[in-house]
Amino acid sequence: MGHSVFALVDCNNFYASCEKLFRPDLRCKPVVVLSNNDGCVVARSKEVKALGIKMGVPIFQIRDEIEQHGIVCFSSNYALYADLSSRVMSILEEEAPRVEIYSIDEAFMDLTGVAHTVDLLEFGRKVKARVDQHVGITVGIGIAPTKTLAKLANHAAKKYPATGQVVDLMSPARQRRLMALVDVGDVWGVGRRITEKLKARGIHTALNLADADPKTIRREFSVVLERTVQELNGISCLELEALAPTKKQIVCSRSFGQRITERSELREAVAKYMSRAAEKLRGEKRLARVVQVFVRTGVFNSSDPHYSGSLSVELPNPTDDTRDLLEAADVLFSRIYKAGYRYAKAGVMLTDFYEHGTYQHDLFRGSFERKQSKELMGVLDQINHSGLGSVFFASQGTSPQWAMKREHLSPAYTTRWEELPVVR
C-alpha cells in the first residue's frame, strides 16, 4: 500500500466571497460580514484585511474606517453560505474517492492512489478551476502526505500568489523549506499557550517542532502534540473522517436584537429555539433525554440589574418529538423566569443522546410515545426544508419582536425564487 495523500481545499474569505458572488459591483471593494445582531466583524475580504481591520472587532469601533474606505457591511446570511458550501463540497465528492467535510469552508480529500494516475499539481489545478467555474468561489488547495502538512501547504497556497493557490508538498525537501518559514503558532492544532511554551524552549518554527524529539514532546506536552510532530515528518497519524462524528449536545441560542421585558416574548423565543434544536436532533437521527433552558440579562450594561437562570430536566424516555421537547422547555422556562428584568439572551440545550431502539424504558413510568410521531415530524421537516412554505408551533409566535438584528441582510439568492437576482 502506498503512502497517504491528502488535499485540503479551503474557500478563500468564504462569507465575504459569498456576498460578493452575486454583486459584481463589489468585486474589488472592501466587504465585511457581521456576527449575530450585527455586533462584530466575523469575515473580511482581502481588501479589508489590507486595511488592517482585525477579526472580531466591534462594528462601532470602526465606524470611521467604514465611512472613509467605503466598506460594505453585510449581516450573516447563513442560508446562503450553507447552500454555496454544499455546492463546493458536491464537486469535491465527485473528484475524490473520499472527502471529509471539516467545516463550512474546508474539506480534506483522500487522494491516496490518485498520484499513480495523474499529476497531483495538475489535479489540484483542475479541481480549483472546476469549483471556480461551477460555483464562483475561489479556493486554495494544499496537497501533502499528512493532514497537518496539507494544512501547511494550503497556508502557503494562500500566502504566496506565485503558487496559483495550489501547492504540492509531497517532496520532503519542499516540506522542510516551507516549515522553516512557518511560525510554530501557525501549525494546525498548536494553540497560543502551547506556542508560548514551545518558544520558551527554543522551538520557534514548524521545522524546529518537526526536529524535536517526539518522546520529549509527549512527556512535556501531550500525545496530541507528539502526533503533530510525527505528522510534520510525513507520518500520517490522523485518518480521514468520511462521516462527521455524532454531536454530544445541541445548543440553540441567540442574543436578541433588543432587550425583552415581556414574559410572552421571552417564552416565544425559547419555543423557537427548542423547535430548531428538535429539528437538528432529528437530523442527527438521535433522541434526547436531557433538556436545559437558560435565560440571562446583558452583561455589559451596568445600569441594568443582572440575572441569569438555568434549569434542566431528565425526561422519562428520550424523544425527538418537538411537542414533547416544547412541553419540557415550557415547564423549565416557567420556573426560571423572573419579572422585572431586561433579558438579552435565551437558549436551550439537548444532551444525553440515544439511537432509536437502543434505550431501556423506565419500568415504573412506562412508555409513552405519541401515535405516528415519526411520520408527523418527518412531514414537518420535509415542508420546512422544501423552501415552498413553513409550519411552526403556535408557541413560537407569529410576529416576533425579539428577532436577531440583521439590518444588512443580503437576499436569499439561491433558496428563494422571489429573491433571485434580475439581469436587465
Q: Quote the percentage of the chain above a pLDDT of 90.
A: 60
8-166 belongs to CATH 2.60.40.10: no
Q: Which of 22, 25, 24, 62 is nearest to 44 (CA)?
A: 62
pLDDT at residue 48, as a whole number: 94
> Which residue bears the cell 492512489?
113
**pLDDT above 80 for 121:** yes
Fold of 250-396: Dna Ligase; domain 1 (3.30.1490)
Which three cell numbers, joined as nine digits, stand for 220?
512535556
Q: Which of 311, 300, 415, 321 is nearest to 368 (CA)?
A: 321
Could you tell me the pTM of the whole model? Answer: 0.75
Q: Name the maximum alpha-carbon separation found in the chain.
A: 70
Helix (H, G, I), strand (E, B) or coil at 204: coil
- On whether the CB atoms of residues 143 and 169 are closer than 8 A, the answer is yes
The average pLDDT across 67-79 equals 91
Amino acid at 424: R
What are 274-322's pLDDT values in tens digits? 999 999 999 888 999 999 999 998 766 667 788 999 999 988 889 999 9
Q: Quote the percentage of the chain above a pLDDT of 70.
A: 92
pLDDT at residue 139, as a whole number: 96
What are 203-218's pLDDT values in tens digits? 999 999 999 999 999 9
Bridge partners (DSSP) listed for residue 8 = 108, 142
Supply the Cα-derived Rg of the chain in whole angstroms: 25
Fold of 171-245: DNA polymerase; domain 1 (1.10.150)
Q: Which of 251, 243, 248 is nearest to 274 (CA)?
A: 251
Bridge partners (DSSP) listed for residue 159 = none
DSSP per position, 280-315: HHHHTT-EEEEEEEEEEE-SS-TTSPP-EEEEEEEE
pLDDT at residue 401, as a whole number: 64
Which residues, including other chains, have CB under 8 Å from residue 201's CB and lie 6 or more apart?
220
* Window from 200-204, 300-304, 390-394 with minimum mean pLDDT: 300-304
Amino acid at 337: Y
pLDDT at residue 116, as a whole number: 79
